[in-house]
Structure 1
Amino acid sequence: MHNISPYIQLQKYALLCPTPLSSESTLQNIRIENNHADCCTLLIIMDHGVRLHIDNVTQILRQGSCIILSYQHIYRLETDNSQARVAWFTFKNFEVDGLILRRVPYATLISGYPYKLPMSILKTTLVGEDWECSWPRNVHVQKHGEVRTQEQPLPTFAPEYLILQAKLQLILGMMAQLEQANPSVDQEKAVHQSLLHMEQHYNKELTVEYLAEMTGMIRWQYSKKFKTITGKQPIEYLTELRVKHAKNLLLRSSETLREIAKQVGFKDEYYFSRRFHQFTGYAPREFANIFSRTHLRIVTDSLGRKVQLPETTNRIVATGTNTIGELLAIGIMPIGAGIATMKSQVIYKNKLHSILDIGLQASPEQVSPLKPDLMLLGNYCERQLSQLDAIAPTIVYSGRNTTYERLLYIADLFNRNKVAEQWINRYEANIRRLRRQLSDQYHVGEHATVYLVLGKNVYVMGQNGFAATLYESLGFRPPAPVNHFIQEGMLWVQIELNQISRYLSDRNFVLSNPSDLQFITPLFSEKSSPYNVHWLDSSWNYDDPITRERLLSVLPSIFTNPKIQRRIL
């Protein structure tokens, strides 16, 4: 960058008053045509509302803007302010080499960049009592739609000429100081601020000149720094930003291309379509037709299958021992589920009235009429999976995971992670209170066995159902035989009546229907003291969130009352 020349020679000056634009004539404006190849032009914007056109690029010039124009182009001024005034100078530049003045044909400051000086300084420097009368106004001469200026000849009185030239020299010097005052260390921060502005106002009319002016940088300087930071030119970045927002509108809106183009900042739907195709490889409507059907999330189920999920799912069917309770815990009511046996056993059976039974393993014949959006299967028949996949996206998930793992997995499918985390936090807080409450009833580390009695059959439970609360939350430990089959991945084992003694522990919890008590009670009374056998209803043998949370309210009585605890609904 060349420093300001130590000597200039004022050539012409005038006070320009651009004619306000009107709907009747858009050509009534000031056209500046510099025929002097060795002169530069300085415009000083004295009022608001002035626009400058250079090579079909428009700059909105603020009050106090000072801008150098080279001799190589034609410039045009417009305004919507009838009082707007622009001070106009042409001058020659010289370099001083001893006693020799060497002509400099180029602008010594950045051409086309609006340097902003305080109006108080400009008025002090330029404006005097005779401001209005001493400066010649431009005279309009229309010719082929052009408006030219009549310039003031150089003053014949030398002192007046020297004073005006000195004022011009002072202003150019202040402009040079502004250029030197732009610290490069702040440029990166300034560009990031302009990026934020683009993100927030991408649908507004934004030009590189406007963004550069916002950062206090010249256009080429701003563009260079912008590309260093983003890897793109400003206009390319802005267009990509607008196309990104247009994609969302195309997928979620039925508005016309003209409306969508307008909403994201394109004035012309045809230009929008062309730029959209350049960035995506698709015409806008082609993109919408293809991706509105395939804009899906992809999840991996417990069988390792990639399953595409629609963005919204309102009609859900489910199977599995705990699946319904997990869905209800995050606020989702399935339309169908495998509830043939559950609806008479679970403690939340009053919530199942509106759910249709689809069979234990989701029978395709029963599922199809429901037209589900998604199927979530804890129980399934492998040979029927292809049929179910043809009806709706089908996810198989493992019931062997812990309650927390299952709940978080299902919540993530429906974007209800926060609800699941809130439940876990609430449940953990309640468990801490319960353990303090029961501190006199048991101690952490005691061994416990859970038996499930169904008719004449007896099962020892692993780390699921009621046992999950004992082992995971209350701090009980399974005895060695139970721990062994848990490690083998078994959820339960069926035992013969004569094998009961093999699994007895410090605490023995027997889950049974009331009708089976007469059969099972003598077996445990013979084998152990009644004080370490606890009886409760088989409806508590679930480890879904609803059952586990309600169980906390009845556990104190289970520990102190040897009689069977009725389900609490």
Structure 2
Amino acid sequence: MQMASLYIQLQQRDLLQLTPLEETNHHNPSTKSKDANEYTLLITLDHGIRLLTNNISQDLSQGSCILLPTQQSYILKTIKEQAHVARLTFLAFQVDQLTLLPACPPLILGFPYRLSLSNIKLALAGEDWVAPSLLQSNKQNRLQEKKYPPTHHSKLAVTQARLQLILGLMAQLESAPPPVQSDQAVQRTLSYMEQHYYEDLTVEFLAEMAGMVRWQYSKLFKLVTGKKPTDYLTELRVQHAKRLLSSSTETLREISRQVGFKDEYYFSRRFHQLTGHPPREYANILRRSRQRTITDSLGRQISLPDAAARIVATGTNTLGELLAIGIHPVGAGITTMKSQVIYRNKLHHIPDIGLQGAPEQVSLLKPDLILLGNYNEQQLPRLDAIAPTIVYRESTSTFERLRYIAGLFGRSRTAEQWIDRYEDSVRRIRRQLADDYIAGERATVYLVLGKNIYVMGQTGFAATVYESLGFRPTESVNQLIVDGRPWIQIDFNKITQYTGDRNFVMVPQEEMNVHIPSTLQSLVGMLAPSKVHIVEAGWNYDDPLTRERLLTVLPSIFAKDRLALVPANEKK
């Protein structure tokens, strides 16, 4: 069905006001309706909103638009003092000559389509049921309303037309061309600049790295970043200079050299242009200003350094989250990860500090900040004495963790760019896999380690299965999620309690190069006749690097039958 043949009839619209103290179950206003073609569109007007459907959570950005069938119950939560969601319920029809046939809009149900706030304001401007402070009508519209007071029916017709516009904007995202290879090449040069900003980088060198001529590279670079390559590199160097000015006693000449400027006076001039202050004046302002204080997951007040350059971290996903926003820690808890994660080629020069951060090893690295996703409470006082130490919860979702960590280092924009890119990729891969599975199928993720069998909750590979692909957990798995359990070990006689319509079995790589282990063979036999996919256990992480790379191999996973294995080959 094409969007051009879609006709809608608006049934109801209202504004939901959310507060963190009032976690209300939000059922669709027409849950008693028997119309299979009735849908609700949720539009998030603020950041910090979480949607739960079937106990699977999604962290939504400002401007996220999600279409749900009215039979679907859901919960909306917020971490902000107050957040707003516009809700519109409507009937959908396909126009076939002079006949209206019940239909489903050509959109992915339950998936967040992210529109720009400016487009949403334009589409909903003048709607009096939406708070004026959120969407201001322009002056001309307000004068028109005073001169020609709209009737109830005319208001409904206008809102219906605006709803059709928003659905059309969502459909445009579906038809947007996938990122071209050259766009990906520019992204690679951006990553290179982040890591080698202090080197003598030229536009010619970067263009050659991207496989383009200079004018083509510069044009595409500006489309991707909004800036010229030279301006982007200068701003990047100034950002690192800020960090050094706040924590180093080196001379300006030395600092300018360390961040890639050959001329101290050119450095000072560009620094002044970008910050409004000469370098030394900026440093003095920083020293006079108070340090930022945050509350960590244990309720402790932690004073953050102005610019942390040397960071150590522990946790299953913490390292992947830091790397995703361009931060390379000087040490990390990689004891078990270094041979398992798909980005292990990035770990060669990162010293191991132990799973929970051994104080003796951490102190040798002289860190500015310690970030612990995995910790030993008895060791905290010793780590606190080395550097400010933040404990954070790894049990939250990928987006929430990424936004939290990015906020610590002033890289929230980088995190949002990753989230936008990831959601675009998910939408495309779901369209690509449309013939391979049906959203809403019951699925279970198993992990086989030797003779032991585990069932995953909503962590690791299961996060992609439930959150991104739209599978539903079985009732037994759903109970794990409700109880907040990341996984559970089960006996063979309980396997059938968890079996889904489709089952994903994770197996360590070292067990994939030998004859099929009896435990795996027995498990697959007990899961019959359900669909089974065998996947290498290196994909059983839900950090940004793993989840983004996983999307590229999902077609291979769904194409394999039974005991055909899909390894997590190491990528660049």
TM-score, length of structure 1 as denominator length: 0.49
- Relative contact order, CA 8 A, sep 6+: which one is greater? 2
Q: Which has the larger radius of gyration?
A: 1
